[in-house]
Chain A
Amino acid sequence: MSRYSIFSLARNALTGHRNWPKAWRSPNPKPAYDVIIIGGGGHGLATAYYLAKNHGVTNIAVLEKGWLGGGNTGRNTTIVRSNYALPGNTLFYEHSLKLWEGLSQDLNFNVMFSQRGVINLAHSDGQRDAYKRRGNVMRINGIDAEYLDRDEVADMVPLLDTSPDARYPVKGGLLQPRAGTARHDAVAWGYARSADSYGVDIIQNCEVTGIDIENGRAVGVQTTRGAIKAAKIGTAVAGHTGHLGAMAGLRLPFETHVLQAMVSEPLKPCLDMVVTSGVAHAYISQSDKGELVFGGDLDFYPTYAQRGNFPRIEEVVETMLTMFPTFSRVRLMRSWGGVIDMTMDGSPIICKTPIDGFYIDGGWCYGGFKATPGSGWVFAHTIANDQPHELNERFTLKRFETGAVIDERGAGATAHAH
């Protein structure tokens, strides 16, 4: 892998940038691999990378039905944080956050991880206490968290409506200073380039259409580019997990929904933090390019179409303007959707399955972008060792049978309620 740096940039400038190598190869699939990863999103690519880097497994194919990074990795609001309250989530996401902190250097690809801080606004005494409760869990687990009062929030986010007579007044907020955003596409590309440099075959336009199972063991996949054998198969297909599971005969605790996001026209810096509000669900930040990037709830009906409908956009914009009233003359530039797999407790699944050699990484609901490095790291461990790492041992399928669910919202077994 040729190294990127200001020096290599200057050197290549002299030759008119004609000599940059390809960031990754486009190989044809081989007949067999040690490991096949289905899904060329951030999670799949990170898994391949850590399999190679941490576990020395390099005979890997990542199969992507479209273009790499074109799933939710390429369509999320890029918020990275580790402010969780329940065992299982806390340390996993924190581990992921620590990986983010060195990711650009590790991958030698600037993923623009911007630790600008994430504030969750509290609008009532109950929410205030809940955020303190969460912040305390974080602090006890060694994760940064601060509780801000209203005036401190107002100082950090000057355009936020913090007036006491607001419809939902801001009482304060939970700040995670190390949290922030990252350049989503760069994450996919950076992992792809590094995985490729270890010899991982990244195969785009290759859709998996079947899982071959012999004697209770997964032995290969059927794809639009032919059958491919593998000793182990892992899926990291986000919204398509239920569908992939069904190919292997598994009925999974998922529902697939569309989540929309949108950007405004680019503006000079006017919002320096990520701000989220729980009262009506909305999260807003400003990208380095200047657009306000924001999203809210699901469309609330199952779908596999990467497009949503207008009622949700109205609601998200209403929330956004209720928080930031002066943005009403700002214009919406683009909106889009991604299909996400909602689990029955809102927490992910990274585990072995009842089928030997078949592993699942999924159930990321609204929030798996932040998990990309951590998920790849533990999923690689799980596949390589055929057993979970301590960090993901609670993210099982079994937990729904035993009741050991990880339900941060306490919403119960209604997938779209999480």
Chain B
Amino acid sequence: MTGQVFRNGAGGRIDRTVPLSFTFDGKNYQGFQGDTLASALLANGVRVVGRSFKYHRPRGILGAGFEEPNALVQLGDGARTEPNTQATRVELFDGLTATSQNRWPSLQFDISAINGLFHRLLPAGFYYKTFMAPANLWMTYEKIIRRAAGMGRAPTQMDPDIYARRFAHCNVLVIGGGPAGVSAALAAGQSGARVILAEDNPQLSVSETELADMDNVTVLTRTMAAAYYDHNTLILSERIADHKPAPAPFETRQRMWKVRAQQVVLATGALERPLVFPNNDRPGVMLASAAQCYAADFAVRAGNQAVVFTNNDSAYGAARDMKAAGIDIAAIIDTRPEISDSTRELATNTKVLTGHAIIDVASGRGGATRGVTLKAIHPDTGAPKGSPIDIACDVVAMSGGWNPTIHLFSQSKGKIKYDGARAAFVPGQSFQQERSIGAANGTFDHEACIIEGHNAGAAAARDVGFDAPDARTSPSGIPPAAQPLWSAPTGAKRFVDFQNDVTADDIGLAYREGYQSVEHLKRYTTLGMGTDQGRTSNVNGLAIMADHRRLDIPEVGTTTFRPPFSPITLGGIAGWHTGQNFEATRQSAMSAWHEAQGATFSNAGLWRRPEYYPRTGMTPAEAVHHEARHVREKVGVVDVSTLGKIDVQGRDALEFLSRVYINNLTKLPVGKCRYGVMLREDGFVFDDGTITRLAEMRFLVTTTTTHAGPVMTHLEYLAQVQWPELDVHLLSVSEDWAGIAIAGPNSRTLLSQLFQDVDFANEAFPFMGYRETNAGGVPVRLFRISFSGEHAYELNVPADYGLNFWTALLETGADLDVIPYGTEAMNILRIEKGHVTGAELNGRVTADDLGFAGMMSKLKPFVGQVLARRDALTAKGRRQLVGLVPADGETPIPAGAQILADPDAPPPEFTPAAILGEVTSNCYSPALGHPIGLGLVEDGSDRHGDTLYAHSPITSETVAITLTNPVFVDPAGGRLHG
């Protein structure tokens, strides 16, 4: 068969001058500009478009929009492939390729359809009752289950497209571009308010030139409102380029809008409900409104001969439009015993059977609908009676009534209520600044929708202070009479949730087994848990449950509507912030230099820091050892710009710092530094750093790189919230100053050459001294402090000059053999000196554990002092900082090892293994010529000289270690002070 045999020669919104070709399952087809994939498939007579989830039954197109549960295709291939795409919302473009999902080897012949034969063994939740024996086979069963489940395939290549997010603000946000929404946007727009109108379709359903001319109105088409969050924030997902084969260069594929609206108008329309009857999932059975939409908007006949099956009036209009498009309407079957004259008039010349229902759908080749069987039904019970009537048809257009699209309303925390006349849930009390209108509000009359829209748009604008047009009076909207016929009599499978293959019998089973609350029903049967989130199934499902439980529908309640309204891409949500742009990167003034030298980098918070500088002829480890050794022997420079720096000023600056550091600072004179430790309020060590008194009432305190933010927040909290009476000003100046440490015996000579006006003699500039100077017009701060344990300085210069000073140090020091070193060598040097960093400052240690007890002032109160006195923080048996050396003097101490006395002890049952401590840091010490480490060990200070084991089963290493003083190099401090 070739050609669009189901397409009419005239009519519809399509553009016949632009023919498009596309493929489905490898076969070529034609459609027109303006088609959806679904309308084009129907035009070509393609009936079966997918297989169902569990039974792998052939499925056709059910709807024409959001509601579609069946027609999910894998769109495109390669890097741009997209799983689970609703064919009813895909705009056709030339060259589009689509593939059916969930079938193997082909759509026509699907091996797993065999599940259908065993369907009796697969009722809802069957997997909870089986696959338990033998226990060890579950992982095998699971593999099979997993392979059978799932639907489309995730892409495995990098997405070439760009996604963006943006914020927007408006006075009135209108969701939905139907008659109600457009009328609301117009009324609000006329008032001068800033209006955004979002519509999922490529165009508004009413063309409105006036809107387009308003500067204050932004119309977003191809834009779905996905979520309604607190404080009137809505998330819109705009598809900019999905209707094209690929985005243009630099064009964004999808943009996610985060809109803060003062007022929201929800005009999201209503979705038609299916009817529940035997074999209602046959390809060819579709929603009446969908068949109508294909006929009217796309000039596509959903089939040649249709039976319309309804419980309400709206399907009569559908029948009329289908007929107008050339579909032969074999009969309208209405479950209601009687219909009004006006309704009957709509069906002039069409056979109408009231008080009847379909009790089976016959299928022909490929599973598509071939005819229906009906019977008369009992007006009260719905029980079939009398003799069956067969009618041949290839389409069943069904209508079970309408559900207002209340998803966003419900997400906004609005209360929904059940409306018996409409047999549907409708919006009740709003919670946010929101109005629901039109079909979304249960108003199904066209004129009434427009008036309701106008009034809501105007009122919303008025509420935020605009002069809006007057309200119009609305004809009292009489809802179309609908007789809720939820489930036709038993027979073959009656599907409620098409996507997840949940039948009316499954609901009955859930009821009998006690899964009766709607939430249990949902989770036990998976009703409403598919990609369509039960848009066509939820109300039918809970009505059937209500029937079993002999409760009214509102008493059974609904499940929770959750974002997103309809699925949105993860790429759109993340926008710019993935991969390298996931988080910002902070770089020092010398970064580019380090990169140019080929340094490797590591992350410290957001900072990137050079680890070491590769050297020809050396392995990485050798290069690191070279750097460390060189510092001890000569001199090295390291970039320490990343340390947190906080400028503290004010009359009470000293008092403030005294309260937050454990140290006694009163005797700290201007021009001196001190090593300081802060506790958290709970008494454990928070951070360490230096405190330098720059002036009488001005200090510079430093923090570790990773704690810079938290320390600043902690200090601001105390200053602003707890001690507002103190005059203290805090400012983070971390990025203002480039920091360079100059360490090694030659450091003094090097600096004396660069800063000739500074007296570097010990008396003039002692250890822990601070000097300010000026070099070439650049202000310089010099601190004589040492992390490496060497004679060392730290230099701070305004960051824009950082690189100059770095290179000047290297040039000036060339004769002194200066080299740059990275964080790896710095780490070795500090371990050799027994200085602690992150691995030891693990948030669980006390000042005493680290040997800082002596620093703790007894003369003043400070943060953490009181809770540090608690029993568990002062008891014997705490882990204390020790040095570690391998007992054999050479075996490396395994990183991450645990320390214990008996590595062969069997694992315990209920009492934790006797682990005495852990290795926190380890390295090979070039200075000592053997491996060393630091650790935290129970009563470690009393155990120097003991031999224990560093045990690392995870790397199969066990090393006997001797505990020592943690200061390996220069314990007397001669190098520091000399």
CB-CB under 8 A for A9 and B126, given A112-B142, A331-B569: yes
Chain A CB within 8 A of B642 CB: no
Residues of A within 8 A of B838 (CB): 126
Note all chain A residues with C-beta closer than 8 A to B81.
Answer: 329
- Does B84 lie at the interface of the complex (its beta carbon under 8 Å from any beta carbon of A)? yes
Inter-chain contact A327/B132, CB cutoff 8 Å:
no
Asked whether A115 and B578 contact (CB < 8 A) given A22-B512, A126-B838, the answer is no
Among residues of A, the one whose C-beta sits closest to the C-beta of B516 is A26
Complex Cα–Cα for A194 and B774 (A): 80
Cβ–Cβ contact A139 & B896, under 8 A: no
Write out, one digit per residue, whether chain B residues 223-236 have a CB within 8 A of any chain A CB (1) or not (0).
00001011001010
Say whether A407 contacts B843, CB under 8 Å: yes
Rounded to whole Å, the gap between the CB of A96 and the closest CB of chain B is 13
- Asked whether B229 lies within 8 Å of A412 as measured between CB atoms, the reply is no
Closest-CB distance, A77 to chain B (whole angstroms): 15
Establish whether residues A114 and B139, one from each chain, have CB atoms under 8 Å apart when the complex forms. yes
Q: Within 8 Å of chain A (Cβ to Cβ): is B684?
A: yes
Which of B149, B570, B842 has the most chain A CB atoms closer than 10 A to its own CB? Answer: B570
Among B150, B152, B581, B838: residue with most chain A CB under 10 A: B150
Asked if A246 is an interface residue, CB under 8 A from chain B, the answer is no
Mask of B544-577 contacts with A, CB within 8 angstroms, 1/0? 0000000000000000101110011111011101
Which residue of chain A is the closest to B231 with respect to CB atoms? A309
A387: interface (CB < 8 Å): no
Contact among B575, B579, B843 for A325, CB-based, below 8 A: B579
Q: How far is the CA of A266 from the CA of B872 in the complex (A)?
A: 50
| A401 sits at the interface (CB 8 A) | yes
CA distance A316 to B683 in the complex (A): 33
- Given the interface pairs A167-B579, A329-B155, the reply to whether A128 lies near B571 with Cβ below 8 Å is no
Contact B570 A265 (CB under 8 A): no
Q: With A4-B129, A17-B509, A403-B871 in contact, do A88 and B149 touch (Cβ < 8 Å)?
A: no
- A373 is an interface residue with CB less than 8 A from chain B: no
Stretch at the interface among B271-279, B448-456, B948-956: B948-956
Asked whether A403 lies within 8 Å of B683 as measured between CB atoms, the reply is yes
A313 & B951 in contact (Cβ 8 Å cutoff): no
Find residues 265-280 in chain A having any chain B CB closer than 8 Å to their own CB: 265-270, 279-280
> What chain B residues lie within 8 Å of A13 (beta carbons)?
120-121, 123
Question: Which B residues are CB-close (under 8 A) to A265?
Answer: 83-84, 151-152, 531, 567
Q: How far is the CB of A212 from chain B (nearest CB, A)?
A: 28
Interface string of A23-66 (1 = CB under 8 A from B): 11110000000000000000000000000000000000000001
On whether A333 and B843 interact (CB within 8 A), knowing A132-B895, A270-B154, the answer reads no
Contacts A267-B154, A413-B681 hold; do A129 and B896 have CB atoms under 8 A apart? yes
Complex Cα distance A391/B575, Å?
Answer: 46
Partner of B578, one of A102, A110, A132, A318: A318
Q: Which A residues lie within 8 Å of B152 (CB)?
A: 265-268
A265-B531, A310-B258 are known contacts. Are A88 and B912 too (CB-CB below 8 A)? Answer: yes
CB-based contact A268/B153 at 8 Å: yes
Which residues in chain A, 101-140, are within 8 Å of chain B measured between CB atoms? 102, 104-105, 108-110, 112-116, 123-126, 128-137, 139-140
Contact B121 A9 (CB under 8 A): yes
> Inside 8 A of A407's CB, which chain B residues have their CB?
843-844
Interface pair A403/B843, CB less than 8 Å apart = no
The answer to whether A267 touches B157, judged by C-beta atoms less than 8 angstroms apart, is: no
9-residue interface stretch from A142-150, A216-224, A349-357, A360-368: A142-150
Find A310's partner among B120, B128, B129, B227 (CB 8 Å cutoff).
B227
Q: In the complex the two chains form, what is the Cα distance from A325 to B158 in whole Å?
A: 6
Q: Quick check: B843 and A411 within 8 Å, CB to CB?
A: yes
Interface assignment of B130: CB less than 8 Å from any CB of chain A: yes
**Most B CB atoms within 10 A — which of A113, A115, A267?**
A267
Interface 9-mer from B295-303, B436-444, B517-525: B517-525
Give chain A nearest CB distance to B586 CB in angstroms: 13
* Residue of A whose beta carbon sits closest to that of B845: A410
Asked whether B142 lies within 8 Å of A166 as measured between CB atoms, the reply is no
B913 CB-CB contact with A under 8 Å: yes
Minimum CB distance partner of B531 in chain A: A265
Q: Which residues of B contact A250 (CB under 8 A)?
A: none
Shortest C-beta distance, A412 to chain B (Å), equals 5
What are the interface flags for A135-178 relative to B under an 8 Å C-beta threshold, 1 for contact and 0 otherwise?
11101111001110000000000010100001110000000000
Contact between chains at B571 and A328 (CB < 8 Å): yes
Write the nearest CB–CB distance from A100 to chain B, whole angstroms: 12
Residues of chain B within 8 A of A332, CB atoms compared: 564, 567-570, 573
B residues 200-247 touching A (CB-CB < 8 Å):
227, 229-230, 233, 235
CB distance from B834 to the nearest CB of A (A): 18
Q: Are B154 and A166 in contact, with the CB atoms below 8 A?
A: no
Distance from B432 Cβ to chain A, minimum over Cβ atoms (Å): 13
Residue among A22, A134, A288, A402 having the largest count of chain B Cβ atoms under 10 Å: A288
Measured between C-beta atoms, what is the minimum distance from A5 to chain B in Å? 6
Residues in A whose Cβ lies below 8 Å from that of B142: 112, 114, 288
Interchain CB contact under 8 A, B684 and A412: yes
Tell which of B147, B163, B910, B953 touches A139, judged by Cβ atoms closer than 8 Å: B953
Bound CA–CA A10/B122 (angstroms): 10
**Given that A18-B512, A265-B83, A314-B574 are contacting pairs, would A326 and B150 also be in contact in the complex, using a CB cutoff of 8 Å?**
no
Q: Across the interface, do A133 and B900 meet the contact criterion of CB distance under 8 Å?
A: no
Q: Are B578 and A328 in contact (CB under 8 A)?
A: yes
Nearest CB of A to B581, in Å: 8
Cβ of B680 within 8 Å of any chain A Cβ, yes or no, is yes
Task: Tell me the complex Cα distance, A251–B730, Å.
Answer: 35
A254 proximity list for chain B (CB < 8 A):
none
Contact call B133/A105, Cβ cutoff below 8 A: yes
Q: A129 — which chain B residues lie within 8 A by C-beta? A: 839, 895-896
A374 to chain B, nearest CB (A): 12
The residue of chain A having its C-beta at the shortest distance from the C-beta of B83 within the complex is A267
Inter-chain contact A147/B955, CB cutoff 8 Å: yes
| Closest beta carbon of chain B to A271's beta carbon, Å | 9
Neighbouring B residues of A10 by C-beta, 8 Å: 121
- A300: shortest Cβ distance to chain B, in Å? 13
CB pair A136 B897 closer than 8 Å? yes
Whose C-beta in chain A lies nearest to the C-beta of B827? A125
Q: Is A1 an interface residue (CB 8 A)?
A: no
CB-CB under 8 A from B585, the residues of chain A are: 167
Kindly list chain B residues whose C-beta atoms are within 8 Å of the C-beta of A314.
Answer: 165, 573-575, 577
Tell yes or no: A322 within 8 A of B by CB. Answer: yes
A391 to chain B: closest residue by CB: B910
Nearest-CB distance from A224 to chain B (Å)? 16
Decide yes or no whether A199 CB sits under 8 A from chain B.
Answer: no
B130 and A269 form a contact (CB under 8 A): no
Residue pair B570, A140 in contact (C-beta under 8 Å): no
CB distance from A278 to the nearest CB of B (A): 12
Tell me whether B911 and A136 are in contact (CB under 8 A): no
The listed residue (A6, A90, A134, A336) touching B912 by CB distance below 8 A is A90
Q: Does B418 contact A (CB under 8 A)?
A: no
Q: Does the CB pair A17–B123 fall under 8 Å?
A: yes
Residues on A with beta carbons closer than 8 Å to the beta carbon of B603:
123-124, 168, 279
Q: Which of A403-417 contact B (CB under 8 A)?
A: 403-405, 407, 409-413
Query: Are the C-beta atoms of A402 and B871 separated by less than 8 Å?
Result: yes
Q: Is B505 an interface residue (CB 8 A)?
A: yes
Q: How far is the CB of B870 from chain A (nearest CB, A)?
A: 4
Could you tell me if B517 and A204 are in contact, using CB atoms closer than 8 angstroms?
yes
5 contacts across the A-B interface (CB closer than 8 A): A13-B121, A69-B520, A114-B142, A133-B919, A139-B953
Could you list which residues of chain A lie within 8 angstroms of chain B, going by C-beta atoms? 4-6, 8-10, 13, 16-18, 20-26, 66-67, 69-70, 74, 87-88, 90-91, 95, 102, 104-105, 108-110, 112-116, 123-126, 128-137, 139-142, 145-147, 159, 161, 166-168, 183, 185-186, 189-190, 204, 264-270, 279-280, 286, 288-290, 309-310, 313-314, 317-322, 325-336, 344, 389-391, 399, 401-405, 407, 409-413
Q: A5-B130, A266-B530 are in contact. List 6 more A-B contacts (CB 8 A).
A: A21-B513, A102-B135, A126-B839, A270-B154, A333-B567, A335-B564
Give me the 5 closest cross-chain CB pairs, A-B, nearest first: A410-B843, A132-B896, A142-B907, A290-B150, A328-B571
